[in-house]
Amino acid sequence: MDRSFVMIKPDGVQRGLGGEIISRLEAKGLKLVAARFEILPEARVTEQYKEHLAKPFFPGLKVYIMGGPVFLMVWEGRNVVSIVRKVIGATNPQEAMPGTIRGDFGIDIGRNVIHASDSQKSADREIAIHFRPSELTTYTRIDESVLYEY
Ligand code: IDP
Ligand code: MG
């Protein structure tokens, strides 16, 4: 089964959106297989966002992400990476469609509530930054036999 890395950012945590976000992913049929609540150390933030190191917004991004606790998660499901990207919406909440997490709960691009991996390759890389393999649980959700056609 496919896996994606999802992180409720400090603004999402502070605004009390954690439960709502988890509910949406659960209701979609995705399965939570790992989670941790913590303030990220600088090294893991830099590693997480290394493609953006040279961007003008990078220093501000780092301060934002390290500004409070984040909720790190691994979600599992068929095609989970592209599904979660659709559920969270466009990077800029002003352009994100209503019904998406960023479209419903954010305004500024630099405070967009949630992160999710943008490809399977990114997902594998990001999961490995934040979780040990032994932290990823394996279990069957009781509704799986009716969620999937095959
Ligand atoms: P993504 O989170 O939708 O994958 P990326 O382009 O990978 O978007 O950017 C990573 C994160 O960097 C964004 O989610 C946002 O928090 C921040 N970011 C991106 N562009 C800007 C910007 O122009 N100003 C401020 N922050 C930005
Ligand atoms: Mg990205």
pLDDT of 19 = 98
Q: What is the pLDDT of residues 31-48, one digit of tens each?
A: 999 999 999 999 999 999
The predicted structure's pLDDT at residue 5: 99
Please check whether residue 18 is in contact with residue 114, taking contact to mean a CB–CB distance below 8 angstroms: no
Catalytic status, residue 130: no
DSSP 117: -
**What pLDDT shows up at residue 83?**
98
Mean pLDDT to the nearest integer, 118-123: 98
How far apart are the C-alpha atoms of 121 and 136, rounded to whole Å?
A: 17
Q: Are 102 and 88 in contact (CB under 8 A)?
A: yes
How many CB atoms within 10 Å of residue 122? 16
- Ligand 1 pocket member 61 (CB < 6 A): yes
Q: Does the predicted TM-score (pTM) go above 0.75?
A: yes
Domain ranges of the chain: 2-140
Q: Whose CA is nearest to atom 26 of ligand 1?
A: 110
Share the mean pLDDT of the chain: 98
**2-140 belongs to CATH 3.20.20.120:** no
Contact between residue 13 and residue 91 where contact means Cβ atoms under 8 Å apart: no
Q: Name the active-site residue from 3, 31, 62, 115.
A: 115
